[in-house]
């Protein structure tokens, strides 16, 4: 296994361990080839993509997360990005505004395609409040 693959696997394990406090059935998802459905299984109708890279490729990662959400036929998605020297609950989590309970009239034009950055703790709370 390559060093970057090891970092990614370790990050996935950390996130899953954390999420199991909210959703006990959460687990790492087996690889699915070109129809990837995200990195975490066991949270009904939620697709979660996890990244642990030095170079931040947020635009590409957001697109990848949306494709995986579609592959998983999930109602919600979340992109989690490891933050060096931070506990897993403080890692960055990105969620599309369109899946949050926010009045769209207060957002700039095109807001449905925007993402909100928060820490993983707030993302877990938000997903729970949305009924996931």
Distance CA 104, CA 38 (A): 27
Question: pTM score, two decimals?
Answer: 0.90
Distance CA 96, CA 70 (A): 14
The per-residue pLDDT for 2 is 85
pLDDT in tens, 104-130: 676 666 655 589 999 999 999 999 999
Domain assignments of the chain as residue spans, ordered by start: 3-129
Which among 97, 93, 100 is positioned nearest to 129, based on CA atoms?
A: 100
Which among 22, 21, 27, 32 is positioned nearest to 42, based on CA atoms?
A: 27
Looking at 3.30.1490, 1.25.10, 3.40.1350, 3.10.110, the CATH number of the domain 3-129 comes to 3.40.1350
């Amino acid at each position: 296994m390559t060093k970057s693959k090891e970092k990614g696997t370790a990050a996935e394990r950390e996130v899953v361990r954390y999420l199991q406090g909210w959703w006990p059935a959460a687990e790492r998802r087996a690889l699915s080839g070109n129809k990837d459905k995200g990195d975490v299984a066991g949270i009904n109708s939620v697709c979660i993509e996890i990244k642990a890279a030095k170079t931040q490729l947020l635009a590409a990662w957001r697109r990848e997360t949306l494709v995986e959400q579609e592959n998983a036929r999930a109602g919600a998605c979340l992109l989690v990005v490891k933050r060096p020297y931070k506990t897993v609950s403080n890692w960055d989590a990105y969620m599309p505004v369109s899946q949050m309970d926010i009045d769209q009239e207060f957002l700039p034009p095109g807001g449905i395609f925007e993402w909100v950055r928060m820490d993983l703790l707030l993302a877990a709370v938000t997903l729970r409040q949305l009924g996931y």
